[in-house]
Every structure is written in C-alpha cells, then in structure tokens.
Amino acid sequence: MEASLETNTFQEKKQYGGFWIRFAASLIDSIVVGIPMAILIIIIGFMLFNSTGAIDAMMTDPAYMEQELTDEEAIALLGTYLVSVVVSLIVSTLYFAGLHASKWQATVGKKLLGLKVTDLNGNRISFWRSLGRYLAMVFLSSILLIGYIIAAFTEKKQSLHDLIAGTVVLRK
C-alpha cells in the first residue's frame, strides 16, 4: 500500500521530456561526441595513411592526385575506415550507455537541458539496461526515424528504445 502511494505520487510529479527538447539534447551530444571523434579519426587517418608516403607525395607532386591508388594506399584507406568505425562505435556506446547509467543519468546534452533517463519508477538505470537502450536506439529507432517520432504519440513521451528498455526521459 505504501509503495503504491509512493508510485502514484511519483507519477503525478513527473514531467516527461518531449520530442523537441530531446532533439535539442541530441544535437548537443552530436557536437560533444562528434568534434573529438573527428579529430581522433583525422589523427588515426594521418598515422595510417602517412605510413604509405602518400601524404608527402600529395603535398609535393600535383600529378600524384591523378594516379590510381596503389594496393598499399588502398589498404591504408580501408584500414583507416575500419578503425574509424570501430573507434566511433566504442566511444559513442560508452558515452551514451555510460552517462545514462551514471549519477548524472544523462548525457551532456540532456544534463544541460535538465533531462534525465530513469526506469519507469524514476530510479537510475543499470549500465546493462542503458546499453540495451542504446543498442535499441541505434538499430531500431534509426529506421526512418519512426522510433523517435512515436515519442510524440505516447503518454510518457517514450521513443521506441525507451519502450523496449522500460525507461523514460524526465525533466528535472
């Protein structure tokens, strides 16, 4: 009976984070993650691609750009791409899953806009639930953005990944 009363009081006080404020938080997070990630990928690319001597040749010989890539250069480009993808996946997964499960219960964007991710009872979520939420977001919500759009039509403003993970985004 007491738990039921606490749950009802909690539900009455909740203000859910709607689509547009979550979209704004997402834009902030894209900048927070994207800029350092781009710098890191450029550094990795230069390290891998410069090992072929191609960068020096591009800088000194204008005709070099008209030639086809050598096998070594093609492998360096492919390696740069693959390393970039893996690094991006690891960093973004740790950023989103880690911060949503942290004391903040929010990414930098959500924190700046006064939002936090909780379970349906307002409690902090575990890293594993946060990871599941993130993976659902990446793989399901990205399809035609329908996973995000449904937040406009659910009572608790939940996106598809929130429904799957049993989470909500609240205004603090």
Question: d(Cα 122, Cα 171) in Å, to the nearest integer?
Answer: 11
pLDDT for residue 162: 92
Burial 78-87 (b: 16+ CB within 10 A, else e): eebeebbeee
Matching residue, tokens 């984070």: 17
Q: Quote the pLDDT of residue 120.
A: 92
Pairing mode of beta strands 167-171, 115-119: antiparallel
Contacts of 121 (CB under 8 A, 6+ apart): 7, 10
Q: Is residue 13 classed as helix, strand or coil in its secondary structure? A: helix
Where the chain has pLDDT below 70, the residues are 1-12, 49-69, 142, 144
Q: Where are the domains of the chain?
A: 16-171
Predicted pLDDT of residue 3: 53
pTM of this structure: 0.76
So what's the pLDDT on residue 143? 75
